[in-house]
Amino acid sequence: MGGPAVGQTADLRSDTLTRPTTGMRAAMVEAEVGDDVYAEDPTVAALEEQVATLLGHEAALFMPTGSMANQIGLRLHAGPGSEVISDHLAHVLRAELGAAAAFSGITTRSWVAERGRLDVDTALAVMVPDGGAYQVSTACVVVENTHNFGGGTVQPLEDLRRLREGTLAAGVGVHLDGARLWNAHVATGVALADYGACADTVSVCLSKGLGAPVGSVLVASAERIAQARILRKRMGGGMRQVGLLAAAGRYALDHQLDRLAEDHRRTATVARALGEAGPDVVDPEQVHTNILVLDVGAAGWAAADFVAAAGERGVLGYPTDARHARYVWHLDVDDPMTRHAQDVLLELLDRGGVAP
């Protein structure tokens, strides 16, 4: 097959790799700004209002990262000596470097969830609403939609609603890690506000498939967001003329949201081709959005070797564990790159994992 043609490298390591588009850069240059620590940046205020409205919540707060939005979201529910529960693949438990414990004294418990799919009965069974003097009390259940390490899994709205009912009855909160809630919305047509109604606090990322260089937003009640503003400053997240970045987020929402459907189409095309060749490697039915997780172990590969071999051929991915390789579509990956990625991945899977 030889090396990739110049310019044909498909960087599918993550949808965080997108670079600001020309239109986005222009919007950033023109942004009206002020000091946001004094709540005087009109572009930030407009972004916060836009996102709060989309998600059907009272208020919102712009954050530098999704991790900060999640961790401040958790802190609004829980504190030292209380717990947060989620599935074992959840980003908040796995990929935020123990922040809930390190910053907020929060402990966590989890259950095994295939593909990160929400298991309402298990979540409600694991939850301890009032542990009294003997057990840790659960302050909050975290749901991730779409589920990153689960492979872009979309959580069904009826499950989210059932979890919401069960937790409300028990007086336990729900935080939605919606880093890719946009993808769930575009894939299913479910209104963002319908997802928003299933949680007390929601974080969304502007810097993933939407293509902004930086930024996440936390939404909640006005009271909680006032508290979040204090927590953000305390953590060193108070930013000044940050309307420059909020403008990128606004541009992304206005111009780069609907196109997520193209990422989904490309991901599905590759999933179908690979699933036909190797049904154990991927089930195309389980590929809901822009993330393709391959069980390359089923084809005899160690994930690290597979990712390295594909990388040498211009298709970059990420090994999520010893036997799974992840490929993520985004706005800097077009049809020819997708075709190239499909050819390379097919060839390697077909060859099997014994190095040539």
Ligand X SMILES: *Cc1c(COP(=O)(O)O)cnc(C)c1O
Beta bridge partners of 10: 315
Q: Are strands 138-144 and 107-111 parallel, antiparallel or unpaired?
A: unpaired
Cβ atoms 325, 293 nearer than 8 A: yes
- 63-71, 164-172, 313-321, 340-348 -> range binding ligand X (CB under 6 A): 63-71
- What residue type is 293 in one-letter code? V
Taking the complex as a whole, how short is the minimal distance between the CB of residue 316 and ligand X, in angstroms? 17
Closest CA to 98 of 134, 70, 140: 70
Does the footprint of ligand X cover residue 196 (CB under 6 A)?
A: no
Does the footprint of ligand X cover residue 148 (CB under 6 A)?
A: yes
205, 307, 328, 344: which one contacts ligand X (CB under 6 A)? 205
Q: 177 vs 200, which CB is nearer to ligand X?
A: 177
- 64-72, 125-133, 182-190, 289-297 -> range binding ligand X (CB under 6 A): 64-72
- What residue type is 339 in one-letter code? R
Place of tokens 């190239």: 340
Given phi > 0 = left and psi -120 to 50 = alpha, else beta, which region is 201?
beta
Does the footprint of ligand X cover residue 120 (CB under 6 A)?
A: no
Tell me, rounded to whole angstroms, the distance of Cα 11 from its chain centroid. Answer: 18
Does the footprint of ligand X cover residue 179 (CB under 6 A)?
A: yes
Q: Is the bond preceding residue 146 a cis peptide, omega within 30 degrees?
A: yes
Q: Are strands 201-205 and 173-178 parallel, antiparallel or unpaired?
A: parallel
Q: 310 vs 328, which CB is nearer to ligand X?
A: 328
Does the footprint of ligand X cover residue 237 (CB under 6 A)?
A: no
For the segment 215-234, give every residue that binds ligand X (CB under 6 A): 216
The span from the CA of 184 to the CA of 119, in Å, is 17
- 61-69, 118-126, 192-200, 261-269 -> range binding ligand X (CB under 6 A): 61-69
x/- contact string, 73-112, with ligand X (CB under 6 A)? ------------------x---------------------
The span from the CA of 89 to the CA of 286, in Å, is 16
8, 50, 53, 65: which one contacts ligand X (CB under 6 A)? 65
Total number of residues binding ligand X (CB under 6 A)?
A: 12
11, 83, 87, 177: which one contacts ligand X (CB under 6 A)? 177
The span from the CA of 325 to the CA of 319, in Å, is 4
Does the footprint of ligand X cover residue 201 (CB under 6 A)?
A: no
Taking the complex as a whole, how short is the minimal distance between the CB of residue 231 and ligand X, in angstroms? 16
CB within 8 A of 88, min separation 6: which ones? 94, 110, 111, 112, 113
- Give contact residues for ligand X (rule: CB under 6 A): 65-67, 70, 91, 144, 148, 177, 179, 205, 208, 216
